[in-house]
Structure 1
Amino acid sequence: MPATLPRLSVGETVRVAVGVLAPMLAQGVIIRRPGVVSLADSLDTNRHACRILGDLRERYGAGPVLLRLPVRELAVVLDPDDVATLLDGSPRPFTPANREKVTALRHFEPMGVLISGEERRALRRPWNEDVLDHRESLHRLHDHIVAVVAEELEGLLPSDAPVLTWDRFTPVFWRIVRRVVLGDAARDDEAITDLMVALRAQANWAFLRPRSTRRLRELGRRLRTYVADADPQSIAGVVARTPGVPGTAELGQIPQWLFAFDAAGIATYRALALLTGHPAAMAEVRQEDLPTHRGLRPLARATVLESLRLWPTTLTILRDGVEETHWSGGTAAPGTGFAIISTFFHRDRSRLPWADEFEPAIWDDGRAEISRALVPFSAGPAQCPGRTLVLDVTSELLAGIVSQFDVAAAPPVRIRSERAMPRTLAHNRLRFHLARRAAG
């Protein structure tokens, strides 16, 4: 009988649980808890997590290692090649509908493709890709996205508040998201955003909190209204024009898109910090020639991707093995959970010379593609189908901010071009001085 994967000692398991898993769970895997995010920044939890996982890789070599958990087998991935194996192997032998993920996401998207079984996923995934233009460079609504972003940017700089904070940025960002996803009629529908916040806050507790069927019904009712009377220049309009086969559960896919935009906002705000610390890059973003690049905003897009590489918003990527699988260190039984700790691979100094640097060129020159453990939108058959839409919105927003405003980091300044990028960065502590740029 082949050997099973190496199992960590009790002491090593405790070290991983306390130094790697606990900080992620405490920050909130579905919606961030601001106070804990700030504490994680102060403690530099990402740096400690990377050190712990690096020590394990040095001791055990390639191949996942099993934690000594009382309730189920969980394997932590330590080798970049194994990241590619896991993500390329979805939905079989590694299902994205991981047990922990299903328990959490069912609170607000019980019919979402991410937690669908193999049969339902085969119906829902192609429809998601079609609506979201997954395989395109720009979403079909690109021109409308450009217009929405330009209109809403006016709200970033009230005359009495020249300092941009996270709390000031988020209302503007969500107005953009609601208009793009649900239509102009949803611009001021803060209630639907608050409803998603409440449901996601429950999801942070997974099986420890019962589902709120009342809130779920209310969310479904509101989404149904926007799709039934769809703004043609919105994703809801695309949904209305793209009927699925029975079992697609079209309305049931929309909560995941709204959920994904929360991480997109965090990434955009951190990307703004990257540009303030790298003035030459900011100047280049301002000069990007849209006709030449067919609307792509290449450096703005690469800056958002660098934000996601340096400070992943998906803290861990989860898969469950649906059958026995074989690795360099041994075998894993069916039902084994696998965890990919994103920051460990995105900031892997032993393999990435630029791990702690702002290096947007990697997204254009092939280095990111070769480094297959760089997965800001996951990878493989279960890669985020909203990648095109998210990058379209976020790159336009980032470019729009620096084009319309002079932006400088306000104390406490965390990003400087001559320093290595911090391993942990609390987005809610970033502040920027804004001043409107002269026309022309």
Structure 2
Amino acid sequence: MRVEERERVRSGGGVGAEQVRLSRASVGDTLRVAGTVLLPTVAQGLVIRRRLVTLAGRWWQPDARAVRLMQRLRGRYGGGALLLRNPGRKWALALSTDAVRVVLADTEPYSPATVDKIAALSHFQPHGVLITRGGLRAPRRAVNEHALDADLPVHHLAASITAKITEEIAPLRDQMGGRLAWDRFATAYWRAVRRIVLGDAAHDDDELLDLLAMLRRDANWAGLRPRNDRLRQRFRQRLDAHLARREPGSLASLLPPPEPVMDPYGQVPHWLFAYDAAGATVFRTLAMLSTHPVQRLWSAADLRSGESPHRLPRLRACVLETLRLWPTTPAILRESGTPTRWDGGRLPARTSLLVYTPFFHRDDQTLPYAHRFEPARWIDANGHDEWSTVSFSAGPGRCPGRNLVLLTTTAILAALLRDREPRLLSYAKLSPDRPLPVGLDHFGLRFRLAE
């Protein structure tokens, strides 16, 4: 290796890459990863879920197949990271929590702004911090952290947020005999989200989210589908009109004035995108509380305590455990900006690194509770490991909206469950007496909230 090339090779951000094994997959194993991990994950929709594919997954259970394959690969290659033997751009797969730590503990040299992520998210948020490289990343990250109160356990607008949630969600308990399916919940949920993010004047603006959904469907195809700039402009004009009001009590009021280079308003499409996953988590948590009476009684102590809806640690733990069981971001991507030295070889620059979250959350070879609903673990600070449970990513690239999402989902559950007994009317096989499925279609969940 030439001297100048050696100087470019880094040790993985100073977090021990040289001690983490890098193996090279066989051609056969590369094809197995492509067919069992990568393609099914993309097919389900990384930016917006494809309902028909998700429905098929009830029987196919592609995530379970992927977890089993990765367990076999770890046994064959000994953990660490696995460099796939594919032509063109390089891919590597994390097979151990040590590899996850190396990849996520620093955004240099492992950038969140990967080629694939840029190709997808540019369809609707070309200036979002997740796909920002260079000097603009830090100030755009700061805009998000400030508006979302990333460093606070409870957002300072919590009282306003929970009041809006209660007004929109609580009436669902008394409509249609307390029966609740996804589409009816989603209507009320998105009214609450629009009020939280944009203010009360956005309450009925269904068209805004319809436009975003169309853009997200295009984003599922990443660079294979041309960007629809006219559609994106319509969406941004409508969004900017709401943001310009800076309605007091909304997240919009916490943004700095619009500025073309930094584009603070350009961060908001990702907030709306992320809230989609939060709604799915509410429904899955409700399914767990409907079918796990011990945990339901345990969490009900929060509702009897008389505490404000934003101070409900047991319900919050139930949400975190549901996110462990069914992570809404199955693929965390990073890209190496320079060559990095690992034990066993060098990882080339511009390698895409994949952390497949279901593997680390559902690895029953290392986690005795892998397929059980055990929310009490989240009350104990030692109940989880930062690098093995990465529902919100980890390290400096961790989702700045983590606590806001937990506040929102917990308050919604409180609004639905206070003085009500949830009963699951679908998915009869969900039970504390059998392993929980690795995939759970939230679109198909139906409940009755009985008095």
- Quick check: TM above 0.5? yes
Which SS does the other structure have where 2:79 is aligned?
Answer: coil
Counterpart in the other structure of 1:324: 339
Q: Higher mean Cα deviation, 359-368 or 154-163? A: 154-163
Q: Does the 8 Å CA contact 2:120/2:221 hold for their aligned counterparts?
A: yes
The equivalent position to 2:240 in structure 1, one of 224, 228, 241, is: 224
Deviation, structure 1 residue 329: 3.5
The one-letter code of the counterpart of 1:346 is: H
Show the 5 A alignment for 1:120-199: 120-157=136-173, 159-160=175-176, 162-199=178-215
Deviation, structure 1 residue 106: 0.3
Counterpart in the other structure of 1:259: 273
Distance in 2 of aligned mates of 1:167 and 1:159: 14
Deviation, structure 1 residue 383: 0.5
Deviation, structure 1 residue 280: 2.9
Deviation, structure 1 residue 426: 1.1
Show the 5 A alignment for 1:331-410: 331-370=346-385, 372-410=387-425
Distance in 2 of aligned mates of 1:369 and 1:417: 21
Distance in 1 of aligned mates of 2:319 and 2:378: 10
The one-letter code of the counterpart of 2:96 is: D
Q: Higher mean Cα deviation, 13-22 or 311-320? A: 13-22
The one-letter code of the counterpart of 2:320 is: L
Deviation, structure 1 residue 292: 6.0
Deviation, structure 1 residue 10: 2.1
Structure 2: stretches of 5+ with no match in the other structure: 7-17
Deviation, structure 1 residue 282: 2.2
Deviation, structure 1 residue 159: 4.1
Which SS does the other structure have where 1:370 is aligned?
Answer: coil
Distance 1:159 1:264, change over 3 A: closer
The answer to whether 1:433 aligns with 2:444 is no
Deviation, structure 1 residue 371: 5.1
Q: Does the 8 Å CA contact 1:286/1:399 hold for their aligned counterparts?
A: no
Distance in 2 of aligned mates of 1:55 and 1:238: 48
Distance in 2 of aligned mates of 1:36 and 1:345: 23
Deviation, structure 1 residue 243: 4.5
CA RMSD between the two structures: 2.1
Q: Higher mean Cα deviation, 320-329 or 121-130? A: 320-329
Distance in 2 of aligned mates of 1:161 and 1:212: 43
Show the 5 A alignment for 1:86-101: 86-90=103-107, 92-101=108-117
Q: Does the 8 Å CA contact 1:123/1:245 hold for their aligned counterparts?
A: no
Aligned length in residues: 433
The one-letter code of the counterpart of 1:124 is: R
The one-letter code of the counterpart of 2:244 is: A
Distance 1:360 1:154, change over 3 A: closer
Counterpart in the other structure of 1:31: 48
Distance 1:404 1:153, change over 3 A: farther
Deviation, structure 1 residue 357: 1.1
The answer to whether 1:210 aligns with 2:229 is no
The equivalent position to 1:284 in structure 2, one of 283, 292, 298, is: 298
Distance in 2 of aligned mates of 1:326 and 1:274: 43
Deviation, structure 1 residue 284: 3.4
Distance in 2 of aligned mates of 1:313 and 1:361: 21
Which SS does the other structure have where 1:378 is aligned?
Answer: coil
Which SS does the other structure have where 1:6 is aligned?
Answer: strand
Q: Higher mean Cα deviation, 149-158 or 403-412? A: 149-158
The answer to whether 1:6 aligns with 2:20 is no
Q: Higher mean Cα deviation, 294-303 or 354-363? A: 294-303
Q: Does the 8 Å CA contact 1:317/1:340 hold for their aligned counterparts?
A: yes
Distance in 2 of aligned mates of 1:166 and 1:160: 14
The one-letter code of the counterpart of 1:249 is: D
Which SS does the other structure have where 1:317 is aligned?
Answer: strand
Distance 1:334 1:374, change over 3 A: same
Distance in 1 of aligned mates of 2:177 and 2:115: 45
The one-letter code of the counterpart of 1:65 is: L
Q: Higher mean Cα deviation, 288-297 or 97-106? A: 288-297
Provide the identity percentage.
42
Deviation by residue 1:129-167 (Cα, 9 ceiling, x = unmatched): 011000111111100111111111244246446431112
The answer to whether 1:270 aligns with 2:287 is no
Q: Does the 8 Å CA contact 1:64/1:329 hold for their aligned counterparts?
A: no
Deviation by residue 1:61-106 (Cα, 9 ceiling, x = unmatched): 122112222331000110111111111121x010000110110000
The answer to whether 1:15 aligns with 2:32 is yes
Q: Higher mean Cα deviation, 147-156 or 270-279? A: 147-156
Deviation by residue 1:182-236 (Cα, 9 ceiling, x = unmatched): 1111111000010110000000000011111112111211121112212201111
Q: Does the 8 Å CA contact 1:81/1:373 hold for their aligned counterparts?
A: no
Counterpart in the other structure of 2:90: 73
Counterpart in the other structure of 1:53: 70
Deviation, structure 1 residue 19: 1.1
Distance in 2 of aligned mates of 1:210 and 1:191: 22
Distance in 1 of aligned mates of 2:379 and 2:258: 35
Distance in 2 of aligned mates of 1:205 and 1:70: 21
Q: Does the 8 Å CA contact 1:290/1:296 hold for their aligned counterparts?
A: no
Counterpart in the other structure of 1:417: 432
Distance 1:229 1:415, change over 3 A: same
Q: Does the 8 Å CA contact 2:309/2:410 hold for their aligned counterparts?
A: no
